[in-house]
């Protein structure tokens, strides 16, 4: 798959020589776009979507005619989505493992490092501006409330260390996204380049084991972003 991807990337660069080709922080969108190169009008689910264009893993798909659901706990981010992607479903929700009131470690509006995870917050060099109390819900409940009928082709998860809390309350056997990309926030590796032993740390992680048990294959990583493909997926 990777050889085909890089051949595709070189062709893409030549065709769009003077245009921006990736909107992702780590070029995840190029790999996802390649996997779905034959699929138009697909459907995405982006949790921790932050900005509708900049450093966004679904905007390239959006430009191709895809639509989907964008979820972020910062209302100002969702306001941007309502302006830039008014035909998407844009939800201002804090997604977690249950319906509860939890602490949000808040740095500033639209900050990419606002988090529900205290360990991740303690690791940051920036100073928390405020600890807020916010209501959380689960991804299952959020999607059930939407009465979603769409097949989720692509799911992106960027939630600053809270990914396993979300997956624990998300029924992958029901929704079964074809492709999942997720930020892997191993604090010992954050901000470092991957070394030879880092792959072993990934496969030993709860995240990897959880997705493997739900019939996903690990196919690639780009710095801190991991990409998984469901074993039943056919392009």
Domain encompassing residue 163? 2-92+139-230
Q: Which residues pair with 6 in a beta bridge?
A: none
In a domain, 127, yes or no: no
In a domain, 80, yes or no: yes
In a domain, 157, yes or no: yes
Cα–Cα dist 31/72, whole Å: 23
pLDDT > 70: what percent of the chain?
73
Positive or negative: CA dihedral 17, 18, 24, 29: negative
pLDDT greater at residue 191 or residue 113: 113
In a domain, 189, yes or no: yes
Q: How many domains does the chain have?
A: 1
**Residue 201 belongs to a domain with what CATH number?**
3.40.50.150
pLDDT greater at residue 78 or residue 199: 78
In a domain, 129, yes or no: no
In a domain, 81, yes or no: yes
The pLDDT of residue 89: 97
In a domain, 134, yes or no: no
């Amino acid at each position: 798959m990777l050889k085909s991807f890089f051949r595709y990337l070189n062709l893409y660069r030549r065709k769009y020589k003077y245009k921006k080709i990736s909107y992702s922080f780590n070029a995840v969108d190029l790999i996802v776009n390649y996997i779905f190169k034959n699929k138009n009008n697909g459907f995405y689910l982006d949790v921790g979507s932050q900005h509708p264009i900049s450093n966004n893993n679904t905007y390239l798909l959006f430009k191709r005619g895809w639509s989907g659901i964008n979820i972020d706990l910062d209302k100002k981010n969702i306001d941007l989505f309502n302006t830039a992607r008014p035909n998407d479903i844009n939800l201002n929700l804090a997604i977690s493992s249950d319906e509860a009131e939890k602490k949000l470690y808040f740095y500033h509006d639209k900050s990419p490092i606002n988090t529900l995870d205290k360990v991740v917050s303690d690791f940051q060099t920036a100073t928390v501006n405020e600890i807020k109390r916010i209501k959380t819900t689960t991804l299952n409940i959020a999607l059930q409330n939407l009465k979603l009928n769409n097949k989720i082709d692509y799911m992106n998860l960027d939630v600053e260390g809270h990914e396993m809390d979300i997956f624990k309350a998300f029924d992958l056997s029901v929704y079964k996204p074809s492709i999942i990309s997720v930020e892997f926030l191993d604090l010992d590796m954050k901000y470092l380049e991957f070394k030879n032993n880092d792959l072993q740390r990934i496969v030993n992680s709860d995240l990897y084991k959880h997705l493997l048990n739900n019939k996903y294959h690990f196919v690639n990583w780009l710095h801190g972003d991991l990409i998984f493909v469901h074993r039943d997926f056919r392009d």
